[in-house]
Amino acid sequence: MIDELLAYQAADGKLRAVEQEISATDERKKYMTARKFLEKAPEKLEALDAKATELRATFERLQKKYAEIADTIRDYENLDEMVDEQGGEISFYKKSATQIAESLRSLKAEIGRLASAIEETAAEYQTAKKQTIAMQKQYKEYKVRYSEVKQAHAAEIAAIEKELAALGEKVPAATLEKYKAKRREKVYPVVCEVAGNRCPQCGMELSIADQSKLSDGTFIECDSCHRILFKRK
């Protein structure tokens, strides 16, 4: 059975080489870059839009508060009249006016910072929107180009897949499924002959129990890299 499985793996290696060649093309790289960007773009734009809305609401609230305090300050313009009519120490009113004026300055500074944050968020939103439009164009263009690259290799891939189907019939179903599962995990080569008492791929030393299983002709799985290991008698 090991020879049949190795033959399958050799044919699979040819398919993997073609897949890697396609993956390395500029067409696929730009297609994937655009696709990944566009997958996240709506969420990013929505987050920026929500942030801008929140900032603007806060800005309007602070502006209203600023206007209210400014009105209060104007009441102190006629300080002498207030003292004459209501009585009391003028120092008390001056202190109160000073405190209000300080609050007004602080609020004005906060509004200024908030206005800057709104402008920055708006600029970030516009940049993200322009990037999204550019990526939409790139996605459309390179989706076609990537499809053409795959089509150029379609006959070669079909031939290898036909070969794999024939070879796969000679391998026990359970073993073949285990092999395919590891290939989906990007493991290659999947099947390796041990070198001494170590995995030839990751170098992990095998336990005595595993070495005994190999000597009996049983497949084992490397505890480190999870490849299927065998030993010829």
pLDDT at 81 over 60: no
- Residue 13: inside a domain, yes or no? no
pLDDT of residue 74: 66
Per the structure, the count of domains in the chain is: 2
pLDDT tens digits, 9-19: 999 999 999 99
Structure tokens given for 171: 């391998």
Q: Are residues 74 and 177 in the same domain?
A: no
pLDDT of residue 87: 46
Q: What is the mean pLDDT of the chain?
A: 87
pLDDT of residue 75: 59
| pTM of this prediction exceeds 0.95 | no
Q: Are residues 147 and 186 in the same domain?
A: no
pLDDT tens digits, 138-196: 999 999 999 999 999 999 999 999 999 999 999 999 999 999 999 999 999 999 999 88
Q: Are residues 42 and 115 in the same domain?
A: yes
- Residue 191: inside a domain, yes or no? yes
Segment 207-223 shows an average pLDDT of: 90
Segment 26-52 shows an average pLDDT of: 93
- Residue 101: inside a domain, yes or no? yes
State the residue range of the domain holding 203. Answer: 172-230
Q: Looking at the chain, how many residues does it have? A: 233
Q: Which of 96, 121, 155 is the last residue of a domain?
A: 155
Q: Which of 155, 187, 206 is the last residue of a domain?
A: 155
Residue written as token pair 């030393």: 205
Of these ranges, 9-18, 44-53, 64-73, the one predicted with the greatest mean pLDDT is 9-18
Q: Are residues 176 and 144 in the same domain?
A: no
Q: Are residues 117 and 213 in the same domain?
A: no
Helices (H), the chain: 2-23, 26-75, 79-86, 90-152, 154-168, 173-184, 208-215
Q: Are residues 35 and 150 in the same domain?
A: yes
Q: Are residues 133 and 217 in the same domain?
A: no
Confidence band for 135, pLDDT divided at 50, 70 and 90: very high
pLDDT tens digits, 94-109: 666 677 777 778 878 8
CATH number of the domain where residue 48 is located: 1.10.287
Q: Are residues 71 and 176 in the same domain?
A: no
| Gap between the Cα atoms of 25 and 32, Å rounded | 11
pLDDT of residue 104: 75
Q: Are residues 137 and 207 in the same domain?
A: no
